Amino acid sequence: MNIARSETEWPEVEIGTDNASSAVAFDEINRTKRKSLEKFVVVYVYMITFCFSNDEAVHAASDEEFNLSVIDFYGSNISSETSWILFLQILLPFITAGIGMVFAGLVLDVVQHWNLFIQVPETFILVPALLGLKGNLEMTFASRLSTLTNMGRMDSNESRWIVITANLSLIQVQAIVVAFLASAFAIVLAWIPKGQIDWSHAALLCASSLTTASMASLILSIVMISVVLCSRHFGINPDNVATPIAASLGDLTTLGILSLLGNNVIFESHNSYYSPWHRYFLHCSVFLQAHLVESWLNVGVILMFMTAAPFWAYLARKDEGSTDVLENGWSPIIISMLISGMGGFILEGAIRKFPKIAVFQPVINGVGGNLAAIQASRLATFYHQNNFLGCLGENKLCDYFSFRRAFFSRNKDARSARVLLFLVVPCHIFFNWVIHTYHEGNSPPSDLLFTSVYITAAFLQVLLLLYVCQLLTAILWSLQVDPDCAVIPYLTALGDLCGTFLLYLIFIFYSWLCRDINSG
């Protein structure tokens, strides 16, 4: 927003109650010029949004509350957002994120026929766990950067450089550890029904997972840093845009790298299923070829990443915040991996019975986790700016168990929850249209019955996640746990498990009514 800075446009300022002379008033205006301009900008934004919003919190705001919002806007870089502003800031990043998830689903629908997934079916268990873990890392990274930016930690070049380098190193350490854990977890879950472990498959999964996580983390972290800094430059709250973009790129990038690095596809030349675009990428082979020829190469890759982890950990300790995450931030990631892994276990069985479920899985899980992550990032910033860690202010912990407070109160978090819920139905309809437009081969179900049941399940999933977000953030904050590092992993993992389970139930129900679900 460009505001002309002519002297005649400055608002009048009261000097006191003693009717000071005009000369003194003029001097006072010159000394407080920036403060006056800042207040004028906020007044202007407030007037515009007042015309377009019927938000009760905006209409009921007192002069004192409005003055506090002026201070908050420029003191902490967070605007006094109405539902309309929040909706506009979230809409484009969220649509972008959803399209990324749609194409991740289309990729999964294609690669499920590749030899990596056929010869090593444990990969189906790995995919949700790895995508969930990588999404957790990127979204918690985006949430931390957003909080640091809103608190002014990214203003100077020196502090910005320290924060960026330390967090990039931290992400590499986390990526190596969680990729190893995700592959180990997939191997264990595959061992349970079989009673034996294929160690060559284990080496293949681990090497593919480590390389994928490291490469994707580097690419996505650089993108996230750019997004947060650009948001800061243009006066947009990074809490509203950073996590959706992290989610949009995370699943697609991670799944694509995993499939290309791990795969060596042999297909019949007469098979019309593969387009020329597919045939080009299907020739890619790295770890599956090593598995078939020299399996020790996969072991060498694993050892290389394990050796690099201490070096990244040393660099991560250059920043106090990164050090704290490095020392205390593992339990949410590990627990979320266990929850996401259960979703992968469900997916492995579901995809055998209903192959068309693959195209919807990243979408329903990603949308739910994405919306919950936006809410979690906003709540974390609010807590950091208004309370000390462990203190809930005037509220009691029992207040956050209220469903009414989560969605029907005048609190800012309830208002944002309503906006996020409003996005679920139209956006899922749009994403389903994109799926059917770009899907090749037999189309997934798209009739009114399936769409209605699917959207109902997606809405219930987001409703649950937003309620848990309110409660979990308050609980962790009261326990002196930084929500920037802990809430998003739990929410996205719960979203993966809940979304995959609901999607499986949808296909079971739909197949019971329409028995030709797999015939297209």
Q: What is the pLDDT of residue 132?
A: 67
Q: Which two tokens stand for residue 483?
A: 């929500």
Q: What is the pLDDT of residue 10?
A: 41
Tens-digit pLDDT profile for residues 214-254: 888 888 888 888 888 888 888 788 877 777 777 667 667 77
Q: What is the pLDDT of residue 312?
A: 92
Q: What is the pLDDT of residue 465?
A: 95
Q: Please give the average per-residue pLDDT across 7-28, as a whole number.
A: 46
Q: What is the pLDDT of residue 183?
A: 82
Q: Compute the half-sphere exposure of residue 168: CA atoms within 13 Å on the CB side of its CA.
A: 16
Q: Please give the average per-residue pLDDT across 122-139, as a whole number.
A: 71
Q: Distance between CA 122 and CA 399 in Å, rounded?
A: 43
Q: Give me the sign of the Cα torsion angle 478, 221, 495, 309.
A: negative
pLDDT band at 473 (very low <50, low <70, confident <90, very high): very high
Tell whether the model's pLDDT for residue 258 goes beyond 90: no
pLDDT band at 470 (very low <50, low <70, confident <90, very high): very high
Q: Which two tokens stand for residue 490?
A: 């739990």
Tell whether the model's pLDDT for residue 480 goes beyond 80: yes
Instruction: Please give the single-letter amino acid code of residue 87.
Output: F
| Selection from 42, 198, 58, 65 nearest residue 122 by Cα | 198
Instruction: Please give the single-letter amino acid code of residue 281.
Output: F
| Selection from 76, 90, 61 nearest residue 383 by Cα | 76
Residue with tokens 């320290």: 162
Q: What is the pLDDT of residue 475?
A: 92
Q: Please give the average per-residue pLDDT across 471-483, as a whole number.
A: 89
Check residues 297 and 492 and name the one with the higher pLDDT. 492
Is 210 in contact with 301 (CB distance < 8 Å)? yes
Q: What is the pLDDT of residue 264?
A: 45
Q: Give me the sign of the Cα torsion angle 354, 489, 335, 317.
A: positive
Mean pLDDT: which of 187-201, 226-240, 420-434, 454-468 is highest? Answer: 454-468
Gyration radius of the chain over CA positions: 25
Using alpha carbons, list the distances in angstroms from residue 465 to 225, 310, 402, 413, 499: 27, 35, 14, 13, 11
Q: Which two tokens stand for residue 334?
A: 């590990």
Q: Please give the average per-residue pLDDT across 406-423, as a whole number.
A: 88
Q: Please give the average per-residue pLDDT across 393-415, as a whole number.
A: 85
Query: pTM to 2 decimals?
Result: 0.66
Q: What is the pLDDT of residue 460?
A: 94
| Selection from 311, 339, 316, 338 nearest residue 327 by Cα | 316
Please report, to the nearest 10 degrees, the dihedral formed by the alpha carbons of residues 133, 137, 140, 146 taken in order.
-150
Q: Please give the average per-residue pLDDT across 74-81, as a whole number.
A: 45
Is 245 in contact with 166 (CB distance < 8 Å)? no
Instruction: Please give the single-letter amino acid code of residue 229.
Output: L
Mean pLDDT: which of 130-134, 183-187, 254-258, 364-368 is highest? Answer: 364-368
Question: Which region among 176-180, 203-207, 288-292 has the lowest average model confidence (pLDDT)?
Answer: 288-292
Q: What is the pLDDT of residue 9?
A: 42
Question: Which region among 209-218, 266-275, 374-383, 471-480 has the lowest average model confidence (pLDDT)?
Answer: 266-275
Check residues 120 and 509 and name the one with the higher pLDDT. 509
Q: What is the pLDDT of residue 114?
A: 64
Q: What is the pLDDT of residue 457?
A: 93
Question: Which region among 60-74, 285-299, 505-519 has the lowest average model confidence (pLDDT)?
Answer: 60-74
Q: What is the pLDDT of residue 158?
A: 81
Q: Distance between CA 65 and CA 190 in Å, rounded?
A: 57
Q: Where are the alpha helices (DSSP H) in 263-319?
A: 276-282, 287-293, 296-316
Is 347 in contact with 500 (CB distance < 8 Å)? yes
Instruction: Please give the single-letter amino acid code of residue 278.
Output: H
Using alpha carbons, list the distances in angstroms from residue 399 to 53, 393, 395, 468, 472: 27, 12, 7, 13, 12
Q: What is the pLDDT of residue 268?
A: 36
Q: What is the pLDDT of residue 81?
A: 66
Residue with tokens 């957002």: 81
Q: Compute the half-sphere exposure of residue 347: CA atoms within 13 Å on the CB side of its CA.
A: 35
Tell whether the model's pLDDT for residue 476 goes beyond 80: yes
Is 363 in contact with 109 (CB distance < 8 Å)? no
The rounded mean pLDDT for the chain is 73
Q: Distance between CA 387 and CA 508 in Å, rounded?
A: 47
Q: Which two tokens stand for residue 480?
A: 């002196």
Tell whether the model's pLDDT for residue 348 goes beyond 80: no
Q: How many CB atoms lie within 10 A of CB 205?
A: 30
Q: What is the pLDDT of residue 515?
A: 59
Instruction: Please give the single-letter amino acid code of residue 97.
Output: A
Q: What is the pLDDT of residue 468?
A: 94
